[in-house]
Structure 1
Amino acid sequence: MSHRYDGKIDFDHLEFATLEDDATEQQYADRFKATAPDTFARYLRRRWVVFAVAYFGYVCAYLVRNNFKLQSEQIRLENGWELTQIGIILTAFTLTYGFAKFFMGVLSDRVSLRRIFAGSLGGSALICIAMGYVHNFWLLFALMLVLGTLQGALAPSSMAMIANWYPNRSRGSGIAIWNTSQNLGGAGLPLIISWIAALGGAGSTHLGFLIPGMFVVVLSFVFWRYGGDRPEDEHMPRLNTIYGPYGEPDVDDVPEDGYWTTFYRFVITSPVVLIVALINAILYFLRFGILNWMPAFLGTEMGFEKYQYLTAFSVLEWVAIPGCFFFAWVAIKAPNRQSIVGSIGLIGLAALVWVYMGNHNYVVLLIVSGLMGALIYGPQLIVNIMTLNVVPLKAAGAAVGFVGLFGYIVGEMAANLVMPILAEHLSWTASFFVLFALAILGGVLYLFISRYEKKIVKA
């Protein structure tokens, strides 16, 4: 039986009881339920399936994303390559992923969400499998370019699935929970590769690509079958039909506007989207400025043992998961005050950075690392929520991609260059003072858009 509803109800012309101007979201939902009870029940069941595909699908994205990075040292030694060659291959992914997140986001607004998501995920898995058997530098470089391009479609399309099926009040919490999928996938892949290495021994590097890749290939067919398109494409009601003004962001979108008019007006020329994109760049600078330089700073500069800074790295990633769930709970309680929540989180992160850069105690390091994980990924998921809350849903993919472009091309690449330059020519204190200042700046920028958020997200 098809998972899509093939009924012929004309939702735009259903006759509803009149509600007062101050009617609540629940009253709108109850009105629709009374008018079309079977459709409402079907919509709720379908929404859970769509979320499950978006969440577990993005976990799978990370199972075929970092395989080369995690095994790069073994690959370097097997092929007799220089460290710079590994760096060039890794940069290939960053470049194409950043730009593809934008362009593939635009594409996802124009095509079937489930097909671009499942197709790109399956393609990523096949590229991952191929990489395990390639030992030519330039061919690996080319495969990483393709991998970055395919992976760039996954975040915009999976987030757009959630945005199109969840109303204002629960959209934020849905995106917040979805955000933990990257932590689950990112933390799970090293465990899988470690298990494979323990069982396979020397010469098992290719299995770290093959086994996760085959697993994801199989699941991509499941996601193709059950992934979510926009409700109206599945002959289901739009969110505004069910929830009234509480269904979609109130951004004065005119339905007759063409896609490119909407894209120009609400994405690339929107001051609010540009501020959100700048905040995202700051967050990526903070995230990778801390994570990528933990071995050099904690090991060489601060004198921690290897197992200590690796443990701190792991703690940061794992504590980010309950941290994101905390922010998800806050998103439910304050659905149109996400900017204020993000501001508080970044100011708290600034204080932790100050403690982190002068600390020599291992226990304190673990505590601070865990809290930094929560306050990096927490405000980062607020960026995702804000992005979807300030644009029309038909431009959701493009907005996610545009904001993501700033994160990778501006934020991550700057962190990879600025942090070591400042450390070598001045000191690590100078590098971390930049992180401290950027966290404060990000908190202030969040406050700039708080009034606009309250205006367009009725909750």
Structure 2
Amino acid sequence: MEKQLTKHATGTGYEKEQPEKFHKFLARQRSVFIVAFVGYISAYLVRNNFKLMSGDMIDLYGWDKLNVSFLLTCFTITYGLGKFFMGMLADRISLRKLFAGALGISAIICILIGFSSKFALIAILLIICGLIQGALAPSSQAMLANYFPNKTRGAAIAGWNISQNIGSALLPLIISGLGFIAPNNILLTFLVPGLLVLIISFFLWRFGGDNPEKEGLDSLRKMYGKDGEPNVEEEVDKTMPYWQLIKKYVFFNPGILMVGLINAALYFVRFGIEDWMPIYLGHTAGFQSWQYLTAISVLEWIAVPGSLFFAWLAVKFPNKMTIVGAIGLFVMSGLVFVYENISYSGPRDYIFLLIISGLLGTLIYGPQLIVNILTLNFVPLKVAGTALGFVGLMAYLIGNLGSNWLMPILADHLSWTTSYFVVAGLAFLSGVGYLLLAKRERKAIKA
């Protein structure tokens, strides 16, 4: 126990003055991380079901691609809005109840979609699902922000970030397994993951956390001193109304506005590559479906150790993640052109594609997780949920929708090279944006 406390020493002597209380805090810190991590894996098990089954639903329900595009847009827009409004809610109510409750409702909606065949009904359910799912990222990250001090908050967020890769990779495996058991049974692909996540949500309701003070523990500020919470420009006025807080520290915060723009650009890069891989690699680069599907899977799986590498960097350089992110994005900018020039002429090209896909996964998700770290480091904990939601709103309404529409328009009217030139350019500009935030990051987090 003493060894563990020394490892997590606060620098204020708190761990020696209150050893039992501090040990209890560390135990809760670990359990809260597990709740946030497992919960966000579960979020993806009831989020992408429609996207993965859309081809089968076209065949079964007589839809066309525009029907699917409309339904995906319904989710994308409301998910972006949901991140913002639910992020605001996360600052006002119990994080534990919001996170577990939103996950449970998402599971129920997923099950209902499985029982639905009417286009309009599925559209309504996806709109509701987007709004509810929007609560999960801000509330889970805000939980971590409330239990991890400055020097380990970045590592906690970086570790949490790989949950989305694991969830994205697990759901296709679950659906594939169900396909062997009951071929062409669309209901099971929504029902089984939905029931599983519904059960998980009950455990998360029990073991989630809001903040240490609500559990009879001391605040991060008391335990770690100034190293406990983000160092904003001045001491936060605790009597300031909530709306004035978010106006000052979110809407008119230059650091948050810059982070939001970077996040929008990175989401364009992410979805501009991932969502268009099947069409680009299959229709233009000459790869077969099993080859590009494997490449997509490799991108997600390699992103896991890649993100862990960035998590390790967050521990080593807690106030230099902007520099790390910028370097990664400059490399990514060049790698996009390598990817765009791949075409299939033999097995070597397939192996090369897998290598490039793995590198892309690392350089997409690694620099992107830094957005969440910076967001939490640039605002007081009281408005962490709103800040995360605001940055997420910009990502989906500008970045994701932009890639959905601009990529195919440029490819059809000019060329795929033009589309990927935009992707590479945004990656490079995002790296420049990170460098512009380096001084602010060092001020917020003292090494």
Same fold (TM over 0.5): yes
TM-aligned CA distance change 1:27 to 1:293, over 3 Å = closer
Q: Residue 273 of structure 1 corresponds to which residue in structure 2?
A: 256
Provide the alpha-carbon RMSD of the alignment. 1.3
TM-superposed CA distance for 1:254, in Å, is 2.5
Residue matched to 1:333: 316
How high is the sequence identity, in percent, across the aligned residues?
A: 52
Matched, 1:244 2:225: yes
Report the Cα distance in structure 2 between the residues aligned to 1:166 and 1:244, rounded to whole angstroms.
Answer: 13
Cα distance, 1:30 vs structure 2: 5.9
**Structure 1 unaligned runs (5+)?**
1-23
Q: TM-score, normalised by structure 2?
A: 0.95
- Whether the aligned pair in 2 keeps the contact of 1:25 and 1:243 (CA below 8 Å) is no
Cα distance, 1:42 vs. partner?
0.7
Kindly indicate whether the alpha-carbon contact (under 8 Å) linking 1:245 and 1:458 is maintained by their aligned counterparts in 2. no
Aligned counterpart in structure 2 of residue 296 of structure 1, from 267, 279, 282: 279
Q: CA deviation at 1:255?
A: 2.6
Structure 2: distance between partners of 1:42 and 1:113: 20
> Which residue of structure 2 lines up, in the alignment, with residue 222 of structure 1?
203
Q: Distance in 1 between matches of 2:219 and 2:293?
A: 47
In the aligned structure 1, how far is the partner of 2:8 from the partner of 2:125?
49
1:10 maps to none
Verify: 1:388 aligned to 2:376, yes or no: yes
* 1:298 positional shift: 1.2
CA distance in 2, matches of 1:311, 1:27: 45
Does residue 124 of structure 1 match 2:106? yes
C-alpha distance in structure 1 between counterparts of 2:216 and 2:31, whole Å: 16
Quote the offset at 1:34 in angstroms.
2.1
C-alpha offsets along residues 373-409 of structure 1, whole Å, 9 cap, x if unaligned? 0000001100011110110011110011000001111
8 Å CA contact 1:25–1:246 kept in 2: the answer is no
**In the alignment, structure 1 residue 137 sits paired with structure 2 residue 84:** no
C-alpha distance 81-26 of structure 1, shift in aligned 2 (>3 A): closer
Where 1:206 maps in the other structure, the secondary structure is: helix
User: Residue 346 of structure 2 aligns with which residue?
Assistant: none
2:294 partner SS = helix
Q: Tell whether the 8 Å contact from 1:69 to 1:90 is kept in structure 2 after alignment.
A: yes
Displacement after TM superposition at 1:310 (Å): 1.3
**Which residue identity lines up with residue 384 of structure 1 in the other structure?**
N
SS of structure 1 residue aligned to 2:41: helix
Contact 1:342–1:446 under 8 Å retained in 2: yes
The CA deviation at 1:29 is: 4.5
Deviation at 1:26, TM superposition (A): 6.4
**Which one is further off, 428-437 or 151-160?**
428-437
The CA distance in 2 between the partners of 1:441 and 1:417, in whole Å, is 20
| Matched residue type, 2:181 | L
Structure 1 match to 2:216: 235
What amino acid does structure 1 have at the position aligned with 2:200? L
Find the aligned partners of 1:35 and 1:431 in 2 and give their Cα distance.
59
Q: Secondary structure, in 3 states, of the residue corresponding to 1:250?
A: coil
Equivalent in 405, 410, 418 of residue 398 of structure 2: 410
Paired residues for 1:422-437 under 5 Å: 422-437=410-425
Instruction: Quote the residue 1:171 is aligned against.
Output: 153
Structure 2: unaligned runs, 5 residues or longer: 1-5, 344-348
Aligned pair 1:212/2:193, yes or no? Answer: yes
Matching of residue 57 in structure 1 with residue 31 in structure 2? no
Q: 1:210 to 1:26 in 2, by over 3 A?
A: closer
1:85 matched to which residue of 2?
A: 67
**What is the correspondence of 1:238-387 to structure 2 with a 5 Å cutoff?**
238-251=219-232, 252=234, 253-360=236-343, 361-387=349-375
Matching residue of 2:81: 99
In the alignment, the residues of structure 2 paired with residue 60 and residue 198 of structure 1 have an alpha-carbon distance, to the nearest angstrom, of: 22
Amino acid at match of 1:86: V
Q: Distance in 2 between matches of 1:294 and 1:27?
A: 47
Q: Report the alpha carbon displacement of residue 28 of structure 1 after superposing the two structures with TM.
A: 3.9
- Structure-1-length-normalised TM-score: 0.93
- How far, CA to CA, are the matches of 2:176 and 2:200 in structure 1? 22
Other structure's SS at 1:229 match: coil
One-letter amino acid of the structure 2 residue matched with residue 397 of structure 1: G
Between 1:323-332 and 1:225-234, the stretch displaced more is 225-234
- The answer to whether the Cα contact below 8 Å between 2:9 and 2:15 also exists between their aligned partners in 1 is no
Contact 1:337/1:450, CA 8 A, preserved across alignment: yes
- What's the CA shift for 1:428? 0.8
Q: Tell me the CA shift for residue 257 of structure 1.
A: 2.3
Deviation sequence 1:272-327 (CA, Å, 0-9, x none): 10100001001100011011111221111111222221111111111100000000
Q: Structure 2 CA distance, aligned partners of 1:26 and 1:229?
A: 21
Contact 2:326/2:431 (<8 A) preserved: yes
Matches of 2:318 and 2:309 in 1, distance apart?
14
- Structure 2 counterpart of 1:450: 438
Is the contact between residue 121 and residue 151 of structure 1 (CA under 8 Å) also seen in structure 2?
yes
| Cα distance in structure 2, aligned partners of 1:263 and 1:417 | 32
